[in-house]
Amino acid sequence: MSWSSLLDRLKTLIAGAPLPQRRVRLAVPGRGPMRVVYDKAVVHETFSFKARLLQRTMRIVFKPILQYTPINERSFATIQRIDRLSAHRRRSPHIEFEARELGGVRVESMRHGYGPDSRMTVLYLHGGGFFSGSIVTHRRICERLALKTGATVISVDYVQLPEGSVADSVRDAITAYAALLEESDHPDKIVVAGDSAGGYLTMKVAELASRRGLQAPAALLGFSPLLSVDPDREDKGVVRLTRPRDAYLPVKRLAKIREQWLPEGAAIEGYASPLFATAYIHSPTFLVAVEDEMLRPEVEAMALLLSDRGVEVETHLWRKQIHAFPVLADVLPESDMALQLAADFARRAVGELDREPIVDPDSHEETIAVQVPDSVG
């Protein structure tokens, strides 16, 4: 199948027409060179012992827990109580913090103690499936982004389940962004970033800013971003080259979680799935995904659709990592590298990168696109 054919299928999907079914021979992840759909993806084949150990531990210990944990308000409350334990972690002595509000939405602002050396502001939206994670659990990645970018990083405490639906989370995210535009001395240097569910909100902010006629983000940073409310579906014309063996996200639980995300009566402004909103997204975009994670196929599809429209896209695919691994900035060397690459991309997007960008010496750009046959076997 040619690239133009693949793009036509994705465009047809966005138009709402049914897609012809294709069968693709799936590779076993971790064996042989990593195959890609987006032919300009930067591939990171090597991995540390820490990364491999963490991936195996999550697969053996944490994933079974998620597979059998009831999906209800009591479980959400328990998870959130556990998350609050992160508040006892020592904060970075190099970072100044300020708790405040943006448009009525609680946020936490952080900057280098010696003062930022950038006029950029990073609006960060944490992940956690819209029911876990918080500005507390994600302080460390925001601290690291503040140190690596030299910018002020603002972490958003958006509403989550069970207090609100995904529609409410989207509303808080775009409200905080609009308020930041109003107060910023440099609204053209606001970068929006997020991991997993926060990556979903990152793309929604870009979409809704365009729809509302607001200043577009200077750049978007997505770490294993959720790009649709139904990434488990396989009838959307998205090519899957690797069997999903996500280290801890149980694919079979998504249908149940989706019921909580979008209860009856909840209406998300714009598209429910950012994958279908690429016509509204114009900002340079940095994407990270893991070779065998469930969300990877749609990340590559997003990269294809954006780049086809002339949007600058930088995509990095990593082997033997866990979903949203850049969050673990103090644990894995790969996490630190991913954040540095993202920081360089953001500084370049706002015209402040005054040196050559960092390059992972163990990475390479995949230049030969995988040709997917119309039928196999």
Return the SS3 of 9.
helix
User: What distance in Å separates the CA atoms of residue 208 and residue 88, rounded to the nearest whole number?
Assistant: 36
Tokens of 194: 């997020």
H helix intervals, the chain:
3-15, 49-57, 63-68, 73-83, 139-149, 166-183, 197-212, 254-261, 296-308, 333-349
Specify which residues 108 forms β-bridges with: 99, 155
Tokens of 254: 């998504």
Residue 28 has a pLDDT of: 53
User: What distance in Å separates the CA atoms of residue 246 and residue 232, rounded to the nearest whole number?
Assistant: 12
What DSSP designation does 187 have? Answer: G
At what angle are helices 296-308 and 3-15 packed, to 10 degrees? 100
CA distances to 92, 248, 261 from 45, in Å: 31, 20, 35
Residue 27 has a pLDDT of: 53
User: What distance in Å separates the CA atoms of residue 113 and residue 92, rounded to the nearest whole number?
Assistant: 10
Contacts 24+ apart (CB under 8 A), 251-258: 251/294, 252/67, 253/66, 253/67, 253/71, 254/230, 256/71, 257/71, 257/129, 257/131, 258/229, 258/230
Residue 169 has a pLDDT of: 97
Spatial contact of 316 and 44, defined as CB atoms under 8 Å apart: yes
Residue 319 has a pLDDT of: 94
Spatial contact of 286 and 342, defined as CB atoms under 8 Å apart: yes
User: What distance in Å separates the CA atoms of residue 325 and residue 317, rounded to the nearest whole number?
Assistant: 12
Q: How far apart are the first and last CA of the chain?
A: 15
Residue 99, phi then psi, degrees to nearest 5: -95, 130
Residue 366 has a pLDDT of: 62
Domains of the chain: 3-365 (3.40.50.1820)
At what angle are helices 333-349 and 49-57 packed, to 10 degrees? 100
User: How big is the chain by its Cα radius of gyration, in Å?
Assistant: 20
Residue 260 has a pLDDT of: 87
Q: Write the pLDDT tens digit of every residue in 351-377.
A: 999 888 888 888 887 644 444 333 332
Return the SS3 of 332.
coil
Tens of pLDDT along the chain (377 residues) come to 444 444 444 444 444 444 333 334 445 566 667 888 888 999 999 999 999 999 999 888 878 877 888 878 888 888 888 888 777 778 888 899 999 999 999 999 999 988 778 999 999 999 999 999 999 999 999 999 999 999 999 999 999 999 999 999 999 999 999 999 999 999 999 999 999 999 999 999 999 999 999 999 999 999 999 999 988 887 777 877 777 777 777 777 788 888 889 888 889 999 999 999 999 999 999 999 999 898 999 999 999 999 999 999 999 999 999 999 999 988 999 999 999 999 999 999 999 998 888 888 888 876 444 443 333 32
Q: Write the pLDDT tens digit of every residue in 98-139.
A: 999 999 999 999 999 887 789 999 999 999 999 999 999 999
Q: Are strands 95-102 and 42-44 parallel, antiparallel or unpaired?
A: unpaired
CA distances to 27, 110, 115, 148, 216 from 7, in Å: 22, 41, 45, 36, 25
